[in-house]
Amino acid sequence: MLVNLAHGFVQVFQPFDLLMLFVGLLVGMAVSIMPGLGLVMGVVLALPFTYQMPIEPSIILLTAIYFAGTYAGCFTAILYRIPGEPMDVPMLWDGYTMGRRGSPAKALGWALVAALIGGLVSSAVMVVLAGPMSDVALKFDSPDYFAAVFFGLTTVVALAGKSMVNSLISLCVGLLVATVGIDSIYGTQRFTFGVPILRDGVQLVEVLVGMYGLGEVLARIGQGLRISHAESGQQKVATHLPSLRELFAIKTTLIRSTILGTVLGIVPGAGATITAFISYGIEKQYGRRRRQLGTGLPEGIVAPQIGSTASVAGHMIPLLTLGLPGSGATAVILAAFLLHGVQPGPMLFEDPSSLLMVNTIFAAMFASVVGMCLLGFLWIRVIVKVLQIPQGVLSAIVVMFCLVGAYANRNNMSDVWMIVIFGVLGYLFEKFKFPISPMVLGAILGPVGESAFMRSMIGSGNDWTVFFKGPISGTLMAGSLVALSYPLLRELLSARRRPQVAPSAGSGP
Amino acid sequence: MTATAPITPLRRLQAALPYVVVFAVGAFLYRTADGFEFEESSGRIGPGAWPKLILVLLLLTALWGAISSAVHAGKAVAEAVNEADEALVRPPEIYPYLVWLAVGVTLGYLLLLPVIGFFLATIAFVFVLMYLGHYRRPLPAALLSVAVAFAFMFVFMRVVYVSLPAGTAPFDRLSFALMAAMGVH
C-alpha cells in the first residue's frame, strides 16, 4: 500500500498536477472566505475547466478546492466575524472571541493545527480503509447496491435540513429529474413532453451549476449582496502556532474530534457543516472545560475545525470505493469522473492503471492538507484581501462562469437555458427553505438507484422483499429506517425541550 | 418577546401554497407517468414503475407538508443555533424584485447572444448585472464589463477551445476581428 501511495505522490508532484493542486488550494481558500460562494460553488465553477484535462489533474483540482474550502473560512470568521460558510459559524463563538481578547494570531494558529491534524489523520485512516471497503463493495449484487443508494439518500434527507418534509420533496424532485429522457431498459420517452432537448435527459452539469451556482447568486442578489461587519482589512493578520505543551493540554479534544470527524465523514449527508457543529456540541457536552466554552477557548476552535476538515477524507472514500457521493462537493467530483468516462467504484481498485489514479488522488489528499496549511500560514494576509472585491462584480463574474461553463460542456445553447431553469429552481428552493443537497444527490444517484431497483425486481419476479433478505441489503435498509426515524426523534425531543416563542410568518412544517 | 399576531386563513394558505403547488405538479406528472408506452411482457414492471414510486412519495410528502404547514402556520420555535449567527450566513431577502429582474436580464442575454455575439452581449449583461448587485459606479463598471467579456472570450476560446457565439452580420465582424486579434481561428 505504501509503495502504491508513493507512486501516487510521484504523480502528484508532476508539474501540471502540482499546478492544479496549487490553483485548487487558492480557489478553495478564496471561495470559502467570500460569503455566498462556498466550497461547493468553488468546485462547481472549476468543473468546466476540467473538460479538456486528463482525469488525474481534474480530480486533484477539485479535491484541493474541497479540502481548502473547509479551512480558510476560519480566517474571516476569527478576524472579522464573517463566516464564509455555515460550517464556520462555530468558529465565531470561541475563535472570534479569542481574537477580540487580543489573540487573533493564536486563534488562527489553533485552527491551522486543527485542520492539519484532522486532515492528515482522517486521510490516513481512509486510505487504510479504502482497500477493505472496495473488497466488500465487490460482493454487492443489485439489491445490495440499491440498498446502499437508498441508505445514502435517506441519511442525506435526515441530515439535510430542519424540515424532513422539505428534504424529502427535494430528494423526490432530484430523482424525478433523473428520469427525464429515454428510459434505458424499454427505450420509452419519459417526461419529455415533445421537447427535443429533454430527449437526451438532463445533464448533471446543468443541475449542479444551476442549483449551486446561479441559484445561489440569485438568492444573494435578493439579500442585497452585502457583507456584514465590514471591519475587514483593518486588523493586523498573522498566525502564531501553539506550542507542543499547549497541544498536549487539549489532547482529548484532538483525539475525540478527529475520530468524530472521520467517522461522520463516511455518513452520507453529514457534510463539513454538520460535522463541525456536532464536534463543537460534543465538546460542549463532554469537554473538560465545557462550561467556559464560548469564551475564547482553544477547544472551541479545534473541535469544529478538525471535524469539518476530517469529514472530507471520509466523504472521498465512499465515492471512490462505491461510487456514492455523500455531499454536494463529492457529487461534483463524481460528475467530473463521469464526464471523463470513468465510473468510480470497486473496479477502480482492481485495474492497475486506475489504481495509480486512485493512489494519486490519495496522495493529493495529503498534499492538499499540508499545502493549504502552508498557504494559510504564509499568505493569509493576501488571501483575506479577497473580501475587498465588490460583491456585485463578483456575482456578475460567477454568473458568467455558470453560463459559459455550461455552454462549454457541449457547445450547446440549450444547456445554458437549462442552467437558467435550474438556477431559478435553486433560488426558489432557497427562498422556501428546501435544502438543495438532497435534490442534487437524487439527480446524480437516481439512475444508479433505478437501474439497481429494476434489475432486482426483474431478477426476483417483482418480489420487493428481496431488498430485506440479504445480509448486506438488509443491514443497509435497517440503517435507512434508523436514519429516517432520526429527524422524527430529534423533532420530538426538541419540542419537549424548547419553549414556544412568538409566531412568525412563513415557518415550514 | 414580540406580540402574537392573529393567524388568518390567508396566512395558512400562504404557508401551505408551496406544498399545494408541488402536489399539483406531482399529480400531473403521475398522470403522465401512467401513460408511458412500452411493450408489455408478462410480469415485468414497466418504465413508469420507478417514477410512479417516487411520485407517490412526493404526493404523500407534499400533502403532509400542506396540512402541517397550514395547521402550524405562524408557529415558530427557538432554534438551537443563534439566530444572529445564522443571519450572518443567510441574511433575509430584502430585494425579491431584483432577483426576477436578474432572471429577466439573463433570459434577454441568452436571446441576444446569437444575434449580437458573445462580446457585445456580455458587456451589456455584466454591466446590468453589476448594477443589480449594487455596484453603481458607471465608468469602472463599464471598464470591468469590457474586461470580463474580453477575459472570458480569451480563456474559453483560446485556452479551453470553446466556440462562443459570434453573432449575425454586422455584429459578427467585431467578433471575428477580436478572434483574429486573439489568434483564434
Strands annotated E in A30-171: none
Predicted local confidence at residue A501, as pLDDT = 45
CA A342 – CA A348 distance, rounded (Å) = 9
Q: Which residues, numbered 345 to 384 in chain A, qualify as contacts with chain B under a Cβ-Cβ cut-off of 8 Å?
A: none
Q: What is the pLDDT confidence band of residue A38, given thresholds at 50, 70 and 90?
A: confident
d(CA A509, CA A502): 16
Give me the pLDDT at residue B46, please.
84
For residues A382 and A303, the model is more confident at A303
φ, ψ of residue A186 in degrees (nearest 5)? -100, -15
Query: What does the CA dihedral A188, A191, A194, A200 come to, rounded to 10 degrees?
Result: -70
pLDDT at A507: 34
d(CA B70, CA A325): 35
- Report the run of H or E that residue A500 belongs to, with start and end: strand A500-501
**CB–CB of A313/A423 below 8 Å?**
no
Using a 10 angstrom Cβ sphere, with 0-12 exposed, 13-18 middle and 19 or more buried, the burial of residue B76 is: middle
Res A505: pLDDT: 35
* Banded pLDDT at A228 (limits 50, 70, 90): low
Is A175–B148 a contact, with Cβ atoms under 8 angstroms apart? no
B45 has a chain A CB within 8 A of its CB: yes
Q: What pLDDT digit, counting tens, does each position of A410-423 carry?
A: 888 888 999 999 99
| ipTM for the assembly | 0.89
Cα three-residue angle A355-A206-B153, rounded to 5 degrees: 95
The pLDDT score that the predictor gives to residue A204 is: 82
Under 8 Å CB-to-CB from A357, ≥6 apart: which residues? A55, A56, A59, A342, A348
Helix (H, G, I), strand (E, B) or coil at A417: helix
Q: At what angle do helices A73-80 and A15-33 cross, to 10 degrees?
A: 30
Check whether the bond before A83 is cis (ω within 30° of 0): no
Residue A411 has its nearest CB partner, among B81, B131, B163, at B163
Length of chain B: 185
Q: What is the mean pLDDT of residues A438-447?
A: 88
Quote the pLDDT of residue B1: 42
User: In this structure, what C-alpha cell is assigned to residue B178?
Assistant: 477580436
Backbone angles phi, psi at B94, to 5 degrees: -120, -15
Q: What is the domain partition of chain B in residue ranges?
A: 9-77, 96-182
Range from A6-10, A47-51, A173-177, B167-171 carrying the lowest mean pLDDT: A47-51
Closest partner residue to A503 among B58, B76, B122, by Cβ?
B76
The CA-atom distances, in angstroms, between A437 and each of A153, A158, A393, A429 are 10, 11, 27, 11
Distance, CA of A445 to chain centre = 15
CB contact under 8 Å between B162 and A407, yes or no, is yes
Q: Using DSSP, state whether A56 is helix, strand or coil.
A: helix
CA of B50 vs chain A CAs: smallest distance (Å):
7
User: What tens digit of pLDDT does each residue of B65-107 get?
Assistant: 999 888 877 665 444 455 566 666 677 888 899 999 999 999 9
Verify whether the Cβ–Cβ distance B54 to A413 is below 8 Å: no
At residue A329, φ and ψ (nearest 5 deg) are -65, -40
The answer to whether B135 contacts A407, with C-beta atoms less than 8 Å apart, is: no
Higher pLDDT, B41 or A52: A52
Give dist(CA A257, CA A269) in Å, integer: 18
Cα-flanking dihedrals φ and ψ of residue A501, to 5°?
A: -115, 180
- The residue ranges of DSSP E strands in A178-313, in sequence order, are 181-182, 189-190
What pLDDT is recorded for position B79? 47
**pLDDT tens-digit profile of B104-131?**
999 999 999 999 999 999 999 999 999 9
Nearest to A221 among B61, B102, B107 (CB): B102
* Residue contact B93–A223, C-beta within 8 A: yes
From chain B residues 111-130, the ones with a CB under 8 A of any chain A CB are 113-114, 122, 126, 129-130
Residue with C-alpha cell 438532463?
A202
Angle formed at CA B169 by CA B167 and CA B172, multiple of 5 degrees: 45
Residue whose grid cell is 471535524: A307
Q: Considering only CB atoms, which chain B residues are within 8 Å of A191? A: 29, 32-33, 51
Residue-level pLDDT at B78: 44
Give the strand pairing for A181-182 and A189-190. antiparallel
CA distance B166 to chain A (A): 13
What is the distance between the alpha carbons of residues A188 and A246, in angstroms, rounded to a whole number? 65
Mean pLDDT of A452-458: 88
Inform me whether the pLDDT recorded for B159 exceeds 50.
yes
Residue A197 has pLDDT above 50, yes or no: yes
pLDDT at B8: 80
Which residue out of A172, A183, A411, A464 would a mutagenesis test of the B interface target, given it has the greatest number of B Cβ atoms within 10 Å?
A: A172
Q: Residue A384 is which amino acid?
A: V
- A420 touches B: beta carbon within 8 Å: yes
Arithmetic mean of pLDDT over chain A: 85
- Which among A221, A390, A392 is the nearest to B99, CB-wise? A221
Residues of chain B contacting residue A500, judged by C-beta atoms under 8 Å apart: 75, 77
Residue A239 DSSP code = -
Distance, in angstroms, between B108 CA and closest chain A CA?
Answer: 11
Taking phi over 0 as left and psi of -120 to 50 as alpha, with beta for the rest, A2 belongs to alpha
Average pLDDT over residues A303-329: 87
Highest mean pLDDT of the ranges A39-53, A163-177, A280-294: A163-177
Inter-chain contact B98–A221, Cβ cutoff 8 Å? yes
Lowest mean pLDDT: which of A138-147, A259-268, A298-307? A259-268
Residues A319-324, mean pLDDT to the nearest whole number: 86
**A13 falls in which pLDDT band (50, 70, 90)?**
very high
- The residue assigned the cell 430529534 is A490
DSSP state of A84: S
- In terms of CA atoms, which chain B residue is nearest residue A170? B58
Residues A398 and B129: their CA atoms lie apart, in Å, by: 11
Mutate to test the interface with B, among A88, A214, A278, A399 (most CBs of B within 10 A): A399
On the question of pLDDT at A394 being above 90, the answer is no
Q: Do A404 and B162 touch (CB under 8 A)?
A: yes
Q: What is the mean pLDDT of residues A208-214?
A: 88
pLDDT score, position A21? 95
The grid coordinates listed for B15 are 404557508
Of A130-134, A341-345, B21-25, B43-47, give the range with the top mean pLDDT.
B21-25
Beta strands in A24-132 (DSSP E): none
CB A405 within 8 A of CB A45: yes
β-strand partners of A181: A190
Between A81 and A240, residue with greater pLDDT? A240
Q: pLDDT band at A168, cuts 50/70/90?
A: very high
d(CA A344, CA A133) in angstroms, rounded, equals 13
pLDDT at residue A445 tops 50: yes
The CB-based long-range contact list for A279-287 (8 Å cut-off, 24+ gap) reads A279/A90, A279/A303, A279/A304, A279/A306, A279/A307, A279/A308, A280/A90, A280/A93, A280/A304, A280/A307, A282/A256, A282/A257, A283/A253, A283/A256, A283/A257, A286/A256, A287/A252, A287/A253
The pLDDT of residue A88 is 83
Q: Which of A85, A169, A180 to mutate to test the interface with B (most CBs of B within 10 A)?
A: A169
- pLDDT (0 to 100) of residue A238: 81
Question: Cα–Cα distance between A422 and A440 in angstroms, integer?
Answer: 11
Does B113 sit within 8 Å of A413, measured CB to CB? yes
CA distance A297 to A98: 7
pLDDT of residue A234: 54
